[in-house]
Amino acid sequence: MGYRDHWLKTKSTRWKNHTDESSACTTGGQGANIMVLNSLFPVFAIILMGRILQATDFIKKEFLTTSDRLVYYIFFPCMLFYKIGGNQGAESLNFTLPLAGVCALFLVFILSTLYIVYGDVTDFQAGTFSQSCYRFNTYIGMAIVMTALGEEGIIRFGLLIGVVIPIINILSVSILIWFSGKEYTIAQRGGKLFKEAVSNPLILACLAGFIFSRWGCGFPAFIDNTLKLVSTVTLPLALISIGSAFTLKKLKGYLKLSMISAAFKMILFPLSGVLFMTLFGVTGLEFKAGLIFFCMPTSTSIYILSSQMNSDTDLASASIVFSTLVSFISLSVALSLMQ
């Protein structure tokens, strides 16, 4: 083979390799975009549907109130119990993900509390602001985990929230009591903390599901079919309810604090989560479930707890709206990183 032929063959080989690499990058990018679209579009489309139904007066406030109670106390706990209890491999679950979640939670809690003390947050706003920095929307998270990671992802996600929710409840009530301006006895404080830690139906459902899964007997067909039907109803109702309460008017007068709390929730919390998941060696499906968890928007339940314990409900509404808007970006990044 002459020098010219050798040079042409080498150049052709290099061009082919470059083309293959470019094609692979393009395919990978397209795959990530498709995953983001397939996972996020159904969730935010149903949220938008809820907003449209409310704006057109198709659904009434009474319906939403009843629906919220059904979802929180019956449908969602049944779905968690069904998804977790139906898994017969609970003994092999990795508990490093909940550990990473707890560490990230405490880091954000400490830093947000320091901001409350030294920043421009009033005592009346303190409890609401604190919750909005780390309390997450379980409904949106579960919907995205289901579409992106499937049944196995739900098991990991359920384990994580089952550990984290009681701690979040205790931290939230502690801050609300601390800045409430009211005098509570030690017994009253202990009673409120205990109630929030153990009375949450989602915690009880996760615990019951893990206990049942250890028995290894599975659900009888008629029970399985019943719980499957209940699970089908749960997330659409929850997402419609979220959308019905969504309006940009709630941001008026509270945009600054909403942006600051969103920075804690949608930037610092995910970065802390990735840091601790890396330190604890969390990989695979657990890592993906963790990414979604850390990028979820603020929970709508902060409004209820703020109302019950004399904190700023207007700030709660604004924080929920703003973090939900920003979560589209954070969750898109999280899903892209999974590809």
pLDDT along the chain (339 residues), means of 10: 49 46 46 72 89 90 87 88 73 81 97 93 92 92 90 87 87 83 66 69 83 80 90 88 82 89 95 96 93 92 78 88 90 85
Look at residue 21 in the predicted model and tell me its pLDDT: 44
Contact yes or no for 236/42 (Cβ under 8 A): no
Look at residue 73 in the predicted model and tell me its pLDDT: 87
Which H or E run contains 284?
A: helix 284-294
223-253 burial: b if 16+ Cβ within 10 Å, else e: eeeebeebbebbbebbbbbbbbbbeeebbee
Q: For the chain, list the domains and their CATH numbers.
A: 43-338 (1.20.1530)
Look at residue 89 in the predicted model and tell me its pLDDT: 53
Distance CA 156, CA 275 (A): 19
Contact yes or no for 212/81 (Cβ under 8 A): yes
